[in-house]
């Protein structure tokens, strides 16, 4: 599996969004703003399918990988939550991955929502693991995020912080930079084992960016292969 396959999956993301929007316009049920392009829920499928293939190529049985259905996992603070991709191995949770995206123009509130969601989902599942919900083997958690390259996502954003000073790394940072920091720190704090961060626009001639090597798709692939090798070694 090569970089071209990954970039094609990113292009396909935008194609699916366009198809969903056109379909809603044709039926007269268009949602407000750009929301009509995402309510179909399938825009991240091209990337999810690619990652599913990665797990199969790494040695996991195809029927052990779940997408769209049978993806509910029990939590600690709530009964259960749907993940985007779940891998079961030897009746234990081998991996769970979230696929998220952000398209403009409302980056501010959505950034906070995405941050809280990512932290909350991981925190919940780790306590559930501690409580014995998934077996003895530690699950592998992944987070893949696609951000639109948009004038509002790449320009510096002011911070207010009137009561206490904001961490310097966030001052005058763009939302693109903030998402990169988020993904890196999710891994640094071991909330997720690996994260992938990619940016692109709907323009098919525009470049696809991976701002950081440690958050690249190639690194994400290597982590998945490592997970497979670990589980195989444990069985021997």
pLDDT in single tens digits along all 236 residues of the chain: 678 999 999 999 999 988 876 676 666 655 544 443 343 458 899 999 999 999 999 889 999 999 989 999 999 999 999 999 999 998 999 999 999 999 988 898 899 999 999 999 999 999 999 999 998 989 999 999 999 999 999 999 988 877 898 999 999 999 999 999 999 999 999 999 999 999 999 998 999 999 999 999 999 999 999 988 888 777 65
Its pTM stands at 0.90
Element containing residue 236 per DSSP (H, E): none
**Angle at the Cα of 188 from the Cα atoms of 121 and 134, rounded to 5 degrees:** 40
Q: Which two tokens stand for residue 77?
A: 């603070």
CA 68, 71, 76, 78 torsion: positive or negative?
positive
């Amino acid at each position: 599996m090569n970089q071209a396959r990954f970039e094609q999956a990113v292009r396909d993301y935008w194609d699916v969004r366009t198809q969903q929007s056109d379909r809603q316009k044709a039926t007269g049920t268009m949602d407000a703003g750009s929301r009509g392009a995402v309510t179909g829920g399938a825009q991240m499928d091209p990337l999810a399918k690619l990652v599913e293939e990665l797990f199969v190529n790494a040695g996991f049985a195809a029927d052990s990988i779940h997408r769209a259905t049978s993806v509910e996992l029990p939590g600690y603070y709530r009964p259960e939550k749907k993940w985007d991709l779940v891998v079961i191995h030897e009746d234990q949770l081998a991996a769970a991955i979230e696929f998220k995206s952000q398209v403009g123009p409302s980056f501010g509130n959505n950034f906070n929502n995405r941050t809280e969601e990512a932290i909350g989902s991981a925190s919940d599942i780790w306590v559930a693991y501690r409580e014995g919900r998934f077996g003895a083997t530690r699950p592998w958690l992944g987070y893949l995020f696609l951000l639109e390259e948009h004038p509002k996502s790449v320009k510096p954003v002011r911070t207010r912080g009137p009561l206490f000073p904001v961490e310097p790394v966030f001052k005058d940072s763009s939302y693109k930079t903030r998402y990169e920091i988020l993904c890196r720190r999710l891994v640094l704090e071991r909330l997720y084992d690996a994260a992938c961060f990619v940016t692109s626009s709907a323009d098919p001639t525009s470049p696809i960016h991976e701002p950081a090597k440690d958050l690249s798709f190639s690194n994400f692939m290597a982590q998945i292969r490592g997970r497979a090798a670990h589980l195989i070694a444990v069985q021997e």
